[in-house]
Structure 1
Amino acid sequence: MTTMAAVATTTATFLGMEFIAWFMHKFVLHGPLWFLHRSHHVRHPHRFERNDFFFLFYGGLSALLIVYGSPTKDFRFWIGVGIAAYGTLYFFVHDVLIHGRMRFWRKSRNTYLRALNMAHKMHHKATGRDNSEEFGLLWVSPRYFTLAMRKPAPTRKLRQPAMSGKQLEGEEK
């Protein structure tokens, strides 16, 4: 496979995963697999949720394609790379940025990321399997861009170091 074909296959797979993720989320996760996905729509004290099992499906599919396509670097390999790239971005955008499952990335001043966050919050407004909206990850409805541009971006405040007891009393070091 030529370099151009490999890049095209990986890019097409990555972009196609947005449609697949939207379709699966709307018609499968909010349909017959709601019993697994429901854990993602309700508050719970657990670090992991049943919804996390979907990572195993897509991660396993990606790994199998990479392993079986690896000897010849054929289309299977590059499709697996595209799925893995989408999954990696999905993890950072959805789990880290939007849901804060790792606390190293808080608020963003970027209009797109703020619009994405607003759309996702709207999706989670419904706690049942019906009456939800905004099922994709990367594609955001234009109305959320409008809202993100109207709503001011969060300001960043630098944390002040804590003052010691002596500094509070007015003594110098």
Structure 2
Amino acid sequence: MEFMAWFTHKYIMHGFLWRLHKDHHHKDHDSWFERNDAFFIFYAVVSIGFFLLWRYTSFWPGLPIGLGIFAYGLSYFLVHDIFIHQRFKLFRNANNWYAKGVRRAHKMHHKHLGKNHGECFGMLFVPFKYFKK
């Protein structure tokens, strides 16, 4: 799932659907919700679709695919929205080496306000250079 998230972030969110992702890099609104949240809804619908395929057809891969998308979505919500961006005030005191590295990498990703010249498109696996002091 991490590779798929990296790929869609780099080539879709920073590509032809930049207009939905743009407000995540550059706040141009006063709302708590972002247009970027549409991706969360999209993947939830895809996950539910695979669960339904598994349940009502003989497409057995629907269960592991649906669970994988759901698990990554939950991880994204916990790590990206809560831990990194503090959309809810939880996990504020996490300061181990992994937490610091993930925060550094994400900060470097957000230093680029445009859709081009970005770096660190992954979320859970980031380059080792961000774990150094």
CA distance in 1, matches of 2:124, 2:55: 28
Displacement after TM superposition at 1:73 (Å): 8.1
1:34 aligns with 2:18: yes
Aligned residues: 131
Q: Secondary structure at the match of 2:19?
A: helix
CA distance in 1, matches of 2:95, 2:59: 40
Q: What's 2:33 paired with?
A: 48
Q: Deviation string for 1:67-117 (max 9, x for gaps)? A: 220256821112101110111011100000000000122131211111001
Q: What's 1:165 paired with?
A: none
Q: Secondary structure at the match of 1:30?
A: helix
* Candidates 10, 30, 48, aligned match of 1:63: 48
CA distance in 2, matches of 1:116, 1:46: 26
Paired amino acid for 2:82: V
| Cα 1:33–1:73 shift into 2, 3 Å | closer
1:108 aligns with 2:102: no
- The correspondence of residues 6-21 of structure 1 with structure 2, limited to 5 A, is 17-21=1-5
Which TM-score applies when normalising by structure 1? 0.72
1:121 aligns with 2:111: no
The structure 1 segments of at least 4 consecutive aligned residues displaced by more than 4 Å after TM superposition are none
Paired amino acid for 1:68: L
Q: Which has the higher contact order (CA 8 A, sep 6+)?
A: 2
Paired amino acid for 1:104: L
Unaligned 5+ runs, structure 1:
1-16, 151-173
Q: Secondary structure at the match of 1:105?
A: coil
* Candidates 102, 109, 117, aligned match of 1:131: 117
Q: Secondary structure at the match of 2:118?
A: coil
Q: What's 1:160 paired with?
A: none
Which TM-score applies when normalising by structure 2? 0.93
